[in-house]
Structure 1
């Protein structure tokens, strides 16, 4: 019978969840004035920069309105100049016998009224300039632009709805729900180790490939979803361009998420092949007094395909039967011997199998996915 002592080994703690990729910024582009759409400037599905022209609306009516407002300002300013002269003359006459206070007061009131009219007219000019600028619809953010919902020649208005959508590309958010029970366990595990800084996020893409960038947890929602009894967690992950200018991550993409501890922890470890299960749970056979096989009920923690961490039921140095288990019966005397070189090698080389197994996502979650 192959026997191996239960020993302390480092293992990376990890928990697997289901999540989605979300854009950090999302803008629904809408028209802010009513006009005919002259031209769509962008190519659908491409990346745009902040300030890039997207749509050009008919400018003629807005240019004419601006010139009309400027003319009104000029007319009022000319009238105001004359009113100021009239006020100055009335003020001069007050020092002589022909001057009347009422005449001066009326001239001053007329001047102040015209000054207010000029200010109002200048405000209308500013408004016309703003409306003219709105005929050029530009991207408010860097990102990837979607399809257009309106084509040239159509009238667009502020109530036309979304013309197109721009979503930011780098970085991206990854959001995933966690059961309240497991969320409390995660908080107890990592709060004293640095909180958000004690974990990293790794993801697996829908085609099964491990994404080669590492994300950082940065948000835990402030309320629990009553319908699922889960709380939403969110992290940020880089999404740089790769060959051909494309990016791996897409807004609303479904991914597998691995929340992984930054620092490996020491756990009591045994070969995964030594763990047996029945209706009552997991158990192993250990070498007892007089070389008698003893059944020992255990509880497993973070485990991989070759290494099982044991949270209770075993002690450091316990001799666990790892080979020949099909011939072992509780209470029977066995002939112990060293474990095979293959078993010992797998234990020695599996100090961090969680990380090696496609970014850790192939590992068995400690608490299961919610």
Structure 2
């Protein structure tokens, strides 16, 4: 007799597979069809953040690279040849006009002056003798005892003696001037640099290097060049507002600090450099002493020869459209933004950019103001595509007709 055991499941039958059976049971008792569509159905238009393109006051500025220059710069040189006897200043200090800086050995020049004065006295004596002889010759000629030739000779001698006196006086004046040149004085106010020669050296006007250099300190001048195109743009922008009086100059130092004083343009070159196609502009900048710093090296902020970043700013702010830099896209056609047009469709608008203000950029052309500009979610949008706009910086709204997250029917 055949013995019957327990029934074993047929693994070839799908209904006998535990995992498959559980899945079918879940589908049969799961969420409703409407809820499934909410979870797995279409998402709708992409959510984007938008801002209004509104005009607000903006200070226009354009930056260039410039260099600080002293208004006055003088190389101190000897005007006579002699031994350098004294140096009467400290290197790096500020000096005033007329202050004695160097002194050349005086005795040789004093002796030359005394000799020249002696020559003047001798020439005066010769002239007086010639005048006496001329008077005698005239008397003799009037009485008939003298000849006309003797009178003419006496007149010539008198003129020669007078010329000799003038020459001697000129030599004395030259000797006096040379003696004065032994005191080398400062011709301007300013800061004096290092001394090239020390006492004991022979100095002369033919030396290739100056004894020292003085540069004026306040005000300073900042010189910078602009391209011919940028120069025309600046002229067109500010010509109707007052020209150079409508702008002010600010500078940023090498450590990134903005200098606390503003300047004014005082010179625009009359010709464009043919090699660089650029125009030279200079502006005057105040350079007062720094508060709480003793007079000497480093007591003023601006130094002759210093590189700075020059900012040409408008005096009066202008109304301009400013957008976040992230809202501006770029392709082969140039810069553009996406605006929300009718029926919430994204529309391309080509724009021309102006200056950049931190993470903001000025829109010079392409927008009129009042447009709704997409600033967030741009990577999900194409021109002509419907979008789901919401205020930038806030969580996106769900598309119309979609169920809220986590909600089941």
- Report the TM-score when normalising by structure 1: 0.86
Query: Which one of 240, 243, 267 corresponds to residue 320 of structure 2?
Result: 267
Instruction: Name the residue aligned to 2:20.
Output: none
Instruction: Name the residue aligned to 1:234.
Output: 282
Q: Work out the CA distance in 2 between the residues paired with 1:299 and 1:104.
A: 97
Query: Which one of 310, 327, 340 corresponds to residue 287 of structure 1?
Result: 340
Query: Which one of 187, 201, 207 corresponds to residue 160 of structure 1?
Result: 207
Deviation of 1:78 after TM superposition, in Å, equals 1.5
Instruction: Name the residue aligned to 2:123.
Output: 76
3-state SS of paired residue (2:373): strand
Instruction: Name the residue aligned to 1:30.
Output: 77
Deviation of 1:338 after TM superposition, in Å, equals 4.2
CA contact 1:272–1:304 (8 Å) conserved in 2: no
1:194 aligns with 2:242: yes
Instruction: Name the residue aligned to 1:357.
Output: none
Q: Work out the CA distance in 2 between the residues paired with 1:312 and 1:35.
A: 70
Q: Work out the CA distance in 1 between the residues paired with 2:203 and 2:322.
A: 67
User: What are the residue-to-residue correspondences of 1:1-370 with 2, within 5 Å?
Assistant: 1-161=48-208, 162-242=210-290, 243-245=293-295, 246-278=299-331, 280-339=333-392
Deviation of 1:26 after TM superposition, in Å, equals 1.1
Deviation of 1:121 after TM superposition, in Å, equals 0.5
Residue-by-residue CA offset, 1:126-157 (whole Å, 9 max, x unaligned): 11111111111111111111111111111111
Deviates more, 1:126-135 or 1:296-305: 296-305
Q: Work out the CA distance in 2 between the residues paired with 1:101 and 1:228.
A: 78
3-state SS of paired residue (1:244): coil
Deviation of 1:90 after TM superposition, in Å, equals 2.3
Q: Gaps spanning 5+ residues in structure 2: where?
A: 1-47, 395-409
Q: Work out the CA distance in 1 between the residues paired with 2:212 and 2:356.
A: 47
Deviation of 1:329 after TM superposition, in Å, equals 4.2
Q: Work out the CA distance in 1 between the residues paired with 2:343 and 2:235.
A: 45
Q: Work out the CA distance in 2 between the residues paired with 1:235 and 1:295.
A: 42
Deviation of 1:236 after TM superposition, in Å, equals 1.2
- Report the TM-score when normalising by structure 2: 0.78
Q: Cα 1:5–1:92, aligned 2, differ >3 Å: closer, same or farther?
A: same
3-state SS of paired residue (1:249): coil
3-state SS of paired residue (1:115): helix
Residue-by-residue CA offset, 1:148-205 (whole Å, 9 max, x unaligned): 1111111111111311111111111111121222122112212222222121110011
Deviation of 1:324 after TM superposition, in Å, equals 4.4
Structure number, greater radius of gyration: 2
3-state SS of paired residue (2:145): coil
3-state SS of paired residue (2:294): helix
Q: Work out the CA distance in 2 between the residues paired with 1:282 and 1:97.
A: 112
Deviation of 1:81 after TM superposition, in Å, equals 1.6
Deviation of 1:72 after TM superposition, in Å, equals 0.9
Q: Work out the CA distance in 2 between the residues paired with 1:310 and 1:153.
A: 68
Deviation of 1:340 after TM superposition, in Å, equals 5.3
RMSD: 2.0
